[in-house]
Structure 1
Amino acid sequence: MNALARLIGTVFYVGHMRPAPGTWGSFAALPLAYLLYQLGGFWLFLIATIAVFFVGWWATIEMTKGAEDHDPSEIVVDEVAGQWIALLPVLHGTWMLDLGALALLPGWVAAFVLFRAFDITKPWLVGWADRRDDALGVMLDDVIAGIFAGLGVLALAALFHLVIM
């Protein structure tokens, strides 16, 4: 197997951590997101999010080539892509308000919890993508879970800022 694909697909071997490698992959996405945001702000993070989808798709194709299991648990690059999508509204907010990356820490927590909830339960389109049984489906279910989580983050932010405050 391609060593680079394995390194990317497992996110530097985080995917081999047990139990719950998907949760570990999502958790590993957080400091990586913070680092990217610190290095280049929102735009670098957005570009990296798009790039991790395509690089992750390639790595998943390579890692599952000829395998019966289309979505082995050690592949967690899909969790990174989805988690970063869930974080986009939070980091866009910090960028727009010229705040530090962790200023909206409750948003980070909400993005993590909501993403994991959608990724684990696989409602509606998340489940549809997961049932594709191919590398694109591996990536897409987490992308869709990330979109749903990001929308949830926006809804919670609106509730907090418009109703509670």
Structure 2
Amino acid sequence: MRKLFLTFFYTGLSPKAPGTVGTFAAVPFGLLVLAYAPPSTLFLVAILVSVLAAKAITAYENETQLHDASHIVIDEAVGVWIAMAIAPGVMIPWESYSVGNEAIFIPLVLSILYFRLFDILKPSFIGRIDRDVAGGWGVMGDDIAAGFVAGITSALTYAIWEKLAL
């Protein structure tokens, strides 16, 4: 059961680009939540999964002596969910919210792409978290940070694009 959870339904076992595969596998769940609930719900799911994952990853690392194994991709799922929750959450009020709305769709796509970019490049404090924090929170922390930065960056990018397009 732990392997199913940590590999996000075995997507982390992909022989090529397991982080990217895990990220894109998590997107449909994020879209499903956003189709029926406000972005804050997806954010809360991400926080809950983060707590459970950090504990499970720490136990796994203690048993295997492997830190941030590439097949563990639950951190990517959490990171992309955070990005997906933030991007539309700052763009449009819940009352007029719809996943098909362009004001939501474009920031969602940007948030996914920015998340992968920041997760791969690990700029600034994202990289420091990855290098300096041990255990489950070290594995989760850089992806959580990348999710926040990606969500905010996508919302800002879309807002600037809208201003320039007028």
Given the two structures, how large is their TM-score scaled by the length of structure 2?
Answer: 0.88
**Is structure 2 residue 96 aligned with structure 1 residue 101?**
no
Residue type of the alignment partner of 2:52: V
- Taking a change above 3 Å as real, the CA distance of residues 94 and 32 of structure 1, as seen in their structure-2 partners, is farther
For residue 96 of structure 2, give the secondary structure of its aligned residue in structure 1: coil
Partner of 2:11: 14
1: CA distance between counterparts of 2:59 and 2:7?
12
Contact persistence 1:26–1:79 (CA under 8 A): yes
CA distance in 1, matches of 2:156, 2:2: 36
Equivalent residue pairs, number: 162
Which of the numbers 34, 43, 57 marks the counterpart of 1:60?
A: 57
Q: Structure 2 counterpart of 1:9, which letter?
A: L
**CA displacement at 1:78 relative to structure 2:** 0.4
**Unaligned runs of at least 5 residues, structure 2:** none
Within a 5 Å distance, the mapping from 1:4-43 to structure 2 comes to: 4-43=1-40
Q: SS in structure 2 opposite 1:65?
A: helix
Question: What residue is the counterpart of 2:160 in the other structure?
Answer: 159
Q: Distance in 2 between matches of 1:23 and 1:111?
A: 14
The structural deviation recorded for 1:134 is 2.0
Give percent identity, aligned residues only.
31
1:117 has 2:117 as partner: yes
Contact 1:5 1:62 in 2 (8 A): no
CA 1:154 to 1:43, structure 2 compared with 1: closer, same or farther past 3 Å?
closer
1:120 Cα deviation from its structure 2 partner: 0.5
Q: Contact between 2:6 and 2:74, CA under 8 Å: does it hold in 1? A: yes
Distance apart, 1:94 and its partner CA: 5.1
Segment drifting more, 88-97 vs 143-152:
88-97
Q: Structure 1 counterpart of 2:5, which letter?
A: I
What is the rounded CA distance, in whole Å, between the counterparts of 1:67 and 1:17 in structure 2?
20
Residues 12, 72 of structure 2: 8 Å contact kept: yes
Of 102-111 and 152-161, more deviation after overlay is shown by 102-111
Change over 3 Å in CA distance of 1:42–1:108 after alignment to 2: closer
Corresponding residue of 2:43: 46
RMSD: 1.7
